[in-house]
Amino acid sequence: MNVFTKWLGCFISFLMVAILSGCATSYPPLEANADVPDDYTYIIGPGDSVQMFVWGNPEVTQSVTVRPDGKITAPLVEELPASGKTPYQLARDVEKELSKYVRNPLVTIIVSGFVGPYSEQVRIVGQATEPQAIPYKENMTLLDLMIAVGGLTDFADGNRASLIRIIDGEQTQFGVRIDDLIEDADITANVDIMPGDILFIPEAFF
């Protein structure tokens, strides 16, 4: 056996091991139904549009955008942190600030734009047609994510995809079956998505 033949044999063996190891995921499968808290409330983040409606005081009612540093500035309200708060929490904080100038202010916060903080966004990376981060929506599923990103590329291995989720402060990775879901219409492969999930779609081995 010459050196080239020996080298070729070793290369083929290495390639076969890589392919076989890549054909299956070592991550546990994700259960179909996620335990999303019933009292989940939208969290404000940079880029969100916030309308501060002050009852009986139209002169201080204002729509502002949450700045990249997470703060808002409006008439009589300066440098007020908004990111990471619920609309209810921000309304109470605005009332506290306005009470310095307005007697018994009553504030309602109306949010639009819906970007949310990064910790609450769902991120799709890898071999999706349009990888992106999208705001979490109630009852969101894996199928909803695939529609949002336009499906998979021709190079994706959807059944080796994995989902990273924070559970009790610990990062846990699960296997998901995207090919079965969108190619075979296997609805059992559809799983619930939670705020902050990260979906990674690897490239297929050819």
Please count the other Cβ atoms lying within 10 Å of the Cβ belonging to residue 158: 23
49-112 — its CATH code? 3.30.1950.10
Q: Where are the domains of the chain?
A: 49-112, 121-206
Sheet of strand 62-65, all strands in order from the earlier edge strand to the far edge? 62-65, 49-54, 107-112
pLDDT at 14: 41
Report which of 122, 107, 9 is spatially closest to residue 64, judged by C-alpha positions: 107
Return all residues near 40 (Cβ < 8 A) that are at least 6 apart: 138, 195
Task: Render 102-151 in DSSP notation, one character per residue.
Answer: SSS--EEEEEES----GGGSEEEEESBSS-EEE---TT-BHHHHHHHTTS
The amino acid present at 25, given as its one-letter code, is T
Mean pLDDT, consecutive 10-residue segments, the chain of 206 residues? 45 42 62 69 95 92 95 92 96 95 94 91 96 93 96 95 91 94 94 95 86
**What are phi and psi for residue 61, nearest 5 degrees?**
-70, 130
Residue 195: Cβ within 10 Å count: 21
CB 66 within 8 A of CB 112: no
Distance, first Cα to last Cα, the chain? 29
Given this model, what pLDDT does residue 28 score?
Answer: 81
What CATH code would you report for 121-206?
3.10.560.10
